[in-house]
Structure 1
């Protein structure tokens, strides 16, 4: 059964037929990764969902309705997935270091959305950054950039 779920995710995310399917797979993977940080403190907060939506609009130039569908799809895919690995692998395969940095910065925005940084959120971002092969210095630079942007 577990193998069936893994093969479904691999087929759905990595072997999408056309450019539109591949783009949608990357969008779902990015949304799932962003949502993972919102879940790290064991509650998905409305402010965090708004930050996730804003990141998806900014990154992929999507309409609000498309973002709602994308978040729903990502939540569904994430619940079916046994780990984040298929999503992270897709991002590793298709994104440049600059795009990965932008994802890490968006993860920090999600973590800070509710006005506080939970230790589980920070741990999750560190873990994701490691799995995306983002150097520690870039991980810290993303955090400091987001904190500076949010400062009054």
Structure 2
């Protein structure tokens, strides 16, 4: 009887852990998508290039199919952010410094995708990098990599 009870508790705990992991992954994807969408909004000139670059960033970071990445970005567009704290804290908690640097590079790629870096875009990426505890040197290296990728 105790073994059956122990197995039942283990089953329930395992199911909750799996559901929690899925939920965390969904939260992470949404947090990244929200920041990419905000990056597209910053300069008030949303173009096809920015959308395609943001979708490519989601595909690259999470291995999503293009349609799923676009749907995630569309869902992120419906979010009404009042603060960047929630997405930033989710990302800090779940991604390594290297992965956060890749996200910052993707933000820079969106900023450079229309071949014009707006001052608000520059300020936004630097602010997000700071919130994600990405060092300034890494932020500038990511900026250069993104600029080189877009211009070549």
TM-score range, shorter chain: 0.7 to 0.9
How many residue pairs align between the two structures? 135
State the Cα RMSD in Å: 1.5
1:30-109 mapped onto 2 (5 Å cutoff) = 30-77=32-79, 79=80, 81-109=81-109
Deviation at 1:86, TM superposition (A): 0.5
Report the TM-score, using the length of structure 1 for normalisation: 0.83
**Which of the pair has more CA radius of gyration?**
2
2:104–2:139: 8 Å Cα contact kept in structure 1? yes
Contact between 2:33 and 2:73, CA under 8 Å: does it hold in 1? yes
Partners of 2:112 and 2:38 lie apart in 1 by: 14
Deviations 1:21-71 (A, max 9, x none): 211110010011111111111232221011000111111111122112211
Distance 1:65 1:104 in 2: 23
**Structure 2 residue aligned with 1:28:** 30
Partner Cα separation in structure 1 for residue 150 and residue 48 of structure 2: 18
Which runs of 5 or more structure 1 residues have no equivalent in the other structure?
A: 1-15
**Which TM-score applies when normalising by structure 2?**
0.83
CA distance in 2, matches of 1:68, 1:54: 9
1:19 matches 2:21: yes
